[in-house]
């Protein structure tokens, strides 16, 4: 168990004080004993420290040693404090306190825990306590013989938590004489519950029931399952999502054997073998009608038959996946800076049709590249100075929730992207490639200039993604960091255009503006903004605005919903006046606009 501090000020995080107890160690729980205070300094580590006397080892409660607490080098939300409790512990409370003799303290933090310090999970209130663990290596199973035939109707309750290493395998199975069975199986990361209450010898009995819940459950995190079964009524719960089901039909009870297997379906017969792919991963809190099955197995009770190599600790995986919980989360990893090649391989999986996977810059201003998903296909966009972006596409249907491997490499004059077995090649325009300092995985664009300002970024050109992980792509803007963060969206045209007259009745479209962002991107950016301004001025000289005969407007501009406007920069929609008209200082007081006066001297 350890903790990450998400500090806001210069902070000190001290934990925990009260109440911890080892689970299942035979000792009565002592829920008042402080836990962290007794640990040696070496059990504490942190992201950084202000000085050696502000190190993580000083983060114990009610102590004055060192500078009186832990203070990280910088105050931001990426600072963490980690505490190694040595073994699995149940922590029931956490307390923090300000540094001794200082007025700084942590105001909020996330609490994360891990079995081995590699794969971390955020603590949430509903996490249940740990119990004994049983590990199946994909070639093993536990067979539990129920005591004796109970009186009907019988309500079966099976609960367990599982952590899968592979995405397919049998979690539990029970069968009867006539083809009746219940089976819980992990199939491509989803949990499938099969109920066959049919009797093969009776043609009119109940049809098999298949319920599927969850997805991406093979993420090496614990997931809970609860199955309640009363005859053919089923409540199937996976991670708090419950499915109620009642099988329709005449007969309404399952004639099942008094054996239930976990981890695989052993064949009947003396030598064990499995009829279906067995489960590879760990189970804990495994209860059948209130009986702790793991406990029985561990004590080698006669009700339990162990097949294959069943062990009672959960191994740590060699590689751990990183989950991007929001479109704003990302991972920055050091690149092989200065080398003349780019080489990145990774695996990903997602249900999203679109999203960013990787962003990297080539050094010495030679460009940048983005690897992203669009419509379930992998795209590589290469940006090089003076060139329009060039793209290649590889793979299809990649948003199917399964793992896909990606390899990106660039050397000399080509950039290669391979997804699974599909390769795409993009020629590079500049031959020399220098890979950049950092690769960014996951979301790589802030949503607004405001977000850049919060990060402390200066004024400059930035890509922003106004709808986050939505379907709209990022676009380039200038963020002007004044008191507020102004997002300046540029258009592609010149700043001033000379407009020639056109015969009346044949209006000419003089200028159209192509913004660096699409209409949808602009709308998304505008809807995030507190205020939006666009300035369009007409230097009319002697060109009258309305026709002097009937007052019909001779110049106008067209807005984004195709509505026509006849006012210009400096004026207001219904004023019918130029700035000088509003200010009362026009050259000829008969007119509200200098151009309407037909005079040359202004
Ligand atoms: C299923 O859940 C409902 C509501 O929680 C409960 O009333 C019912 O008894 C449950 N069924 C079984 C078979 O446990
Ligand atoms: C059984 O599993 C344990 C732990 O995974 C392993 O150390 C041991 O080598 C395995 N034994 C056999 C016979 O496979
Ligand atoms: C390549 O993709 C970018 C967006 O990433 C797009 O703006 C550009 O027009 C595309 N270029 C070509 C040649 O399709
Ligand atoms: C940024 O804003 C300031 C203050 O409004 C303005 O003077 C300046 O011209 C702006 N810069 C750009 C590049 O838009
Ligand atoms: C505006 O008019 C153009 C062409 O006249 C048309 O293509 C476009 O869809 C219109 N837009 C709206 C929002 O009505």
Domain boundaries of the chain, sorted by first residue: 1-123, 133-311, 330-444, 447-533, 536-602
pLDDT digits (tens, 9 = 90+) for 107-148: 888 888 887 777 677 776 544 555 678 999 999 999 999 876
**Confidence grade of residue 228 (pLDDT, cut at 50, 70, 90):** very high
pLDDT of 17 reads 27
139 lines ligand 2 (CB under 6 A): no
Q: Which of 136, 141, 309 to mutate to test the pocket of ligand 2 (most atoms within 8 A of CB)?
A: 309
Nearest to 84 by CA among 41, 145, 25, 131: 41
Lowest mean pLDDT among 61-65, 116-120, 469-473, 485-489: 469-473
Phi, psi torsion values for 41, nearest 5 degrees: -55, -30
Distance CA 138, CA 140 (A): 6
Q: Is CATH 2.60.120.200 the right assignment for the domain spanning 133-311? A: yes
Atom of ligand 3 at shortest distance to CA of 370? 5
pLDDT of 377 reads 92
Residue matched to tokens 């809807």: 527
Mean pLDDT of the chain: 78
Query: Which ligand does the CA of 243 lie closest to?
Result: 1
381 lines ligand 3 (CB under 6 A): yes
Nearest residue (by CA) to ligand 2, atom 1, is 309
Cα atoms in the Cβ-side hemisphere of radius 13 Å centred on 468 = 11
Identify the residue with better confidence: 508 or 266.
266
| Spatial contact of 575 and 582, defined as CB atoms under 8 Å apart | yes
Mean pLDDT across the stretch 149-170?
A: 84
pLDDT of 5 reads 31
Q: Is the pLDDT of residue 35 over 90?
A: no
Distance in Å, CA 340 to ligand 2 centroid: 45
Identify the residue with better confidence: 41 or 468.
41
Residue matched to tokens 């952590």: 163
Distance CA 173, CA 195 (A): 10
Nearest to 46 by CA among 19, 9, 11: 11
Phi, psi torsion values for 255, nearest 5 degrees: -95, 85
Query: Which ligand does the CA of 311 lie closest to?
Result: 2
Fold of 1-123: Jelly Rolls (2.60.120)
| Spatial contact of 218 and 209, defined as CB atoms under 8 Å apart | no
Nearest residue (by CA) to ligand 1, atom 5, is 235
Cα atoms in the Cβ-side hemisphere of radius 13 Å centred on 285 = 16
Nearest residue (by CA) to ligand 3, atom 13, is 390
Mean pLDDT across the stretch 216-235?
A: 86
Q: With pLDDT > 70 as the criterion, what percentage of the chain qualifies?
A: 79
| Spatial contact of 29 and 40, defined as CB atoms under 8 Å apart | no
Distance in Å, CA 251 to ligand 1 centroid: 20
309 lines ligand 2 (CB under 6 A): yes
pLDDT of 599 reads 75
Burial class for 151, CB neighbours closer than 10 Å (0-12, 13-18, 19+) = exposed
Distance CA 391, CA 254 (A): 58
pTM: 0.52
CATH number of 330-444: 2.60.120.200
Identify the residue with better confidence: 160 or 574.
160
Distance in Å, CA 141 to ligand 1 centroid: 29
pLDDT digits (tens, 9 = 90+) for 368-382: 788 888 888 999 888
Mean pLDDT across the stretch 33-56?
A: 90
3-state secondary structure of 350: coil
pLDDT of 511 reads 75
Identify the residue with better confidence: 45 or 29.
45
**Confidence grade of residue 8 (pLDDT, cut at 50, 70, 90):** very low
Burial pattern 36-51, b for ≥16 Cβ within 10 A else e, equals: beebeeebbbbbbbee
Distance in Å, CA 51 to ligand 2 centroid: 46
Nearest to 127 by CA among 1, 218, 291, 250: 1
**Confidence grade of residue 25 (pLDDT, cut at 50, 70, 90):** very low
Q: Is the pLDDT of residue 26 over 80?
A: no
pLDDT digits (tens, 9 = 90+) for 410-456: 777 777 889 988 877 766 655 445 566 677 787 656 778 888 787 67
Q: Is the pLDDT of residue 7 over 50?
A: no
Residue matched to tokens 């105050």: 75
Q: Does the fold of domain 133-311 match that of domain 1-123? A: yes
**Confidence grade of residue 351 (pLDDT, cut at 50, 70, 90):** confident
Atom of ligand 2 at shortest distance to CA of 309? 1
Distance of CA 247 to the CA centre of its chain: 37
Query: Which ligand does the CA of 310 lie closest to?
Result: 2
Q: Is the pLDDT of residue 277 over 70?
A: yes
Secondary structure, 3-state, 107-132: CCCECEECCCCCCCEECCCCCCCCCC
**Confidence grade of residue 249 (pLDDT, cut at 50, 70, 90):** low
3-state secondary structure of 295: helix
237 lines ligand 1 (CB under 6 A): no
159 lines ligand 1 (CB under 6 A): no
Distance in Å, CA 380 to ligand 3 centroid: 10
Q: What single DSSP character describes residue 580?
A: H
């Amino acid at each position: 168990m350890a903790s990450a501090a998400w500090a806001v000020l210069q902070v000190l995080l001290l934990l925990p004080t009260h109440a911890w107890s080892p689970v299942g160690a035979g000792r009565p729980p002592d829920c008042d004993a402080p836990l962290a205070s007794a640990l040696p300094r070496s059990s504490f580590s942190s992201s950084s420290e202000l000085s050696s006397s502000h190190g993580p080892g000083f983060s114990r409660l009610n102590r004055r040693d060192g500078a009186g607490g832990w203070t990280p080098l910088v105050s931001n939300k990426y600072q963490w404090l980690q505490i190694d409790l040595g073994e699995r512990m149940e922590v029931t409370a956490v307390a923090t306190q300000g540094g001794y003799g200082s007025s700084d303290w942590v105001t909020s933090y996330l609490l994360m825990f891990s079995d081995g310090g590699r794969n971390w999970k955020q603590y949430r209130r509903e996490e249940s306590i740990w119990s004994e663990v049983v590990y199946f290596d994909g070639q093993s199973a536990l067979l539990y013989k129920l005591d004796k035939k109970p009186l009907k109707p019988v309500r079966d309750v099976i609960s367990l938590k599982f952590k899968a290493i592979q995405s397919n395998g049998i979690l539990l199975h029970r069968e009867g004489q006539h083809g009746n069975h219940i089976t819980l199986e992990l199939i491509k990361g989803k949990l499938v519950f099969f109920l066959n209450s049919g009797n093969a010898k009776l043609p009119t009995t109940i049809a098999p029931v298949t319920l599927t819940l969850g997805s991406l459950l093979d993420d090496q995190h614990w997931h809970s399952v609860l199955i309640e079964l009363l005859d053919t009524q089923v409540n199937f719960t996976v991670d708090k999502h419950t499915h109620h089901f009642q099988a329709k039909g005449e007969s309404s009870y399952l004639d099942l054997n008094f054996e239930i297997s976990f981890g695989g379906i052993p064949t009947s017969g003396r030598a064990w073998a499995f009829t279906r792919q067995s489960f590879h991963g760990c189970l804990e809190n495994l209860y059948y009608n209130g009986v702790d099955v793991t406990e029985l197995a561990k004590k080698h009770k006669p009700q339990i038959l162990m097949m294959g190599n069943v062990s009672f600790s959960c191994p740590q995986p060699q590689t751990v996946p990183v989950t991007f919980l929001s479109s704003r989360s990302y991972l920055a990893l050091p690149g092989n800076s200065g080398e003349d090649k780019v080489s990145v391989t990774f695996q990903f999986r997602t249900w999203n049709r679109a999203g960013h996977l990787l962003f990297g810059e080539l050094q010495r201003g030679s460009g940048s590249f983005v690897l992203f998903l669009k419509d379930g296909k992998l795209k590589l966009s290469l940006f090089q100075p003076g060139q329009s972006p060039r793209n290649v596409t590889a793979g299809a249907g990649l948003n199917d929730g399964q793992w896909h491997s990606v390899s990106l490499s660039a050397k000399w004059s080509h950039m290669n992207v391979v997804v699974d077995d599909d390769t795409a090649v993009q020629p590079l325009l500049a031959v020399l490639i220098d890979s950049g300092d950092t690769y960014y995985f996951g979301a790589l664009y802030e949503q607004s200039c405001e977000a850049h300002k919060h990060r402390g970024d200066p004024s400059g050109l930035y890509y922003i993604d106004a709808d986050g992980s939505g379907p709209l792509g990022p676009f380039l803007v200038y963020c002007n960091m004044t008191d507020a963060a102004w997002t300046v969206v540029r258009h592609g045209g010149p700043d001033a255009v000379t407009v020639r007259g056109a015969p009346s009745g044949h209006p000419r479209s003089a200028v159209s503006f192509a913004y660096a962002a699409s209409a949808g991107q602009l709308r998304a950016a505008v809807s995030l903004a507190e205020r939006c301004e666009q300035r369009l001025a007409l230097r009319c000289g002697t060109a009258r605005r309305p026709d002097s005969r009937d007052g019909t407007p001779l110049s106008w501009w067209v807005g984004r919903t195709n509505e026509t406007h006849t006012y210009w920069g400096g004026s207001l929609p219904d004023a019918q006046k130029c700035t000088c008209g509003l200010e009362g200082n026009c050259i000829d007081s008969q007119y509200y606009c200098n151009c309407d006066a037909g005079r040359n001297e202004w």
